[in-house]
Amino acid sequence: MHKDIEKVLFNEAQIEEIVGNVAEKINNDYGDSEIVAIVILKGSLVFSADLIRRLDMNVQVDFMQASSYGFGTESSGVIKIKKDLETDIRGKHALIIEDIIDSGRTLSLLKEELKKRGAASVKIASLLSKPARRVVDVETEYLGTEIPDEFVVGYGLDYAERYRNLPYIGILKPEVYL
Ligand code: 5GP
Ligand code: MG
């Protein structure tokens, strides 16, 4: 185990099972319909790589990097797209692949944005979710598993751009944040 990790939440075998369950639901729902898998950079890179290899339909892959800002008491926030799709999503089935849903702000805006662009459908597959942290309600059609309100790293998820390469998901030792 990496010296900075205090505790492993999900080991490789557990992650494999979670990803398998998500893939099965997606395969059942879409059947033979072609989808565009939208990999949300950078955190969902590892999850996406494992997930798409378990999908049976034709899968196009594209990438997006986005963040949200400007949420006030009455404003619904603005999406800032740092890297946009190359695909014209109009008329296509978009499947957003995300690592973790926290406040839900970024994903709710992203879903709206893709609908505005005329996608035939927009659904979300997220490996993890922290329901305790939700501010904006966003429907997650395919969820791996819920976790408590703790900051996790590994399997694509970073802290200060580190730990994405760990094959498991864990919690950092408190002294790492000092
Ligand atoms: P939100 O749902 O608040 O709009 O943003 C979710 C994003 O916050 C995720 O895509 C991820 O980049 C980051 N994030 C939220 N919780 C965690 C966590 O526990 N660990 C890591 N590494 N990133 C997180
Ligand atoms: Mg991040």
Q: How far apart are CA 86 and CA 109, in angstroms?
A: 19
The CB of 100 under 6 Å from ligand 1? The reply is yes
Check residue 74 and give its pLDDT: 64
Check residue 157 and give its pLDDT: 98
The CB of 111 under 6 Å from ligand 1? The reply is no
Angle 100-105-107 from CA coordinates, rounded to 5°: 60
Cα-to-centroid distance, 31 and ligand 2 (Å):
32
The protein residue with its alpha carbon nearest to ligand 1, atom 9, reads 100
Instruction: For the chain, 178 residues long, give each residue's pLDDT as a single digit of tens.
Output: 999 999 999 999 999 999 999 999 999 999 999 999 999 999 999 999 999 999 999 999 999 999 888 777 666 778 889 999 999 999 999 999 999 999 999 999 999 999 999 999 999 999 999 999 999 999 999 999 999 999 999 999 999 999 999 999 999 999 999 8
Of 56, 102, 149, 158, which residue is the catalytic one? 102
Cα-to-centroid distance, 145 and ligand 1 (Å):
14
